[in-house]
Amino acid sequence: MNNKGLTNSLVAVTIVLFTFALLFIFARAVWTPFNTQIQNLDSSIADNITKDKIDDLGIYLTWGDKLFTIFLVVLLVAYLVTSFTLPAQNSWMFLLFIGFLVLITFLAMVLSNSWTYMLSDPVFSAYSGDVPVTDYVLRHFPVFIFLVGIVGGVIFYSRSNEGGSGGSITDSSMGGQEF
């Protein structure tokens, strides 16, 4: 039934986390010059009340790291719940999963290096202190993805049903009926 294991889920976690972090850091980098330009407008174009309201919108950009952390926890819990609940059939497919895990870890390494390179640019380096959890996770992304993948894979493939009926319960008082 599900011989791919959790490969699709792990790829989704990897790409979604990186995309979220990338979009957030771009939003931070775009907001600062935009807000500066708005605040420097003449009062005849935008009154001070409007400027203050626009400036107050910048508080929402401080939520990025908190949202990333919540998103990270939700995705990891969903991944592990999936590894507990999806039906597993072939434990030998774990070897194929390990091969896919190496490829996904390589993808995570490329994304991690991209993140580090991007934050070395002066435009983005000013905002790396605003996202400590995001920065830590993405700088250690290959190790993080590999460990999560191994834990999920071991949980998923250790529940294989190759040995027969697995955990069926029979009741001798009901004539050996299986539940």
pLDDT tens-place string over residues 75-112: 888 888 877 777 666 667 777 888 888 999 999 999 99
pLDDT value of position 89? 61
8 A C-beta contact, residue 105 and residue 149:
yes
pLDDT value of position 123? 83
pLDDT value of position 109? 94
8 A C-beta contact, residue 130 and residue 40:
no
pLDDT value of position 173? 57
Mean pLDDT for the chain overall: 80
pLDDT value of position 163? 46
pLDDT value of position 110? 94
Say what percent of the chain tops pLDDT 90.
Answer: 15
- Tokens at residue 172, please? 């001798």
Beta strands in the chain (DSSP E): 170-171, 177-178
Structural domain boundaries of the chain?
7-18+66-161
pLDDT in tens, 144-177: 999 988 888 888 777 655 544 444 445 555 555 5
Model's pTM, two decimal places?
0.74
Closest residue by Cα to residue 69 from 2, 136, 121, 118? 136
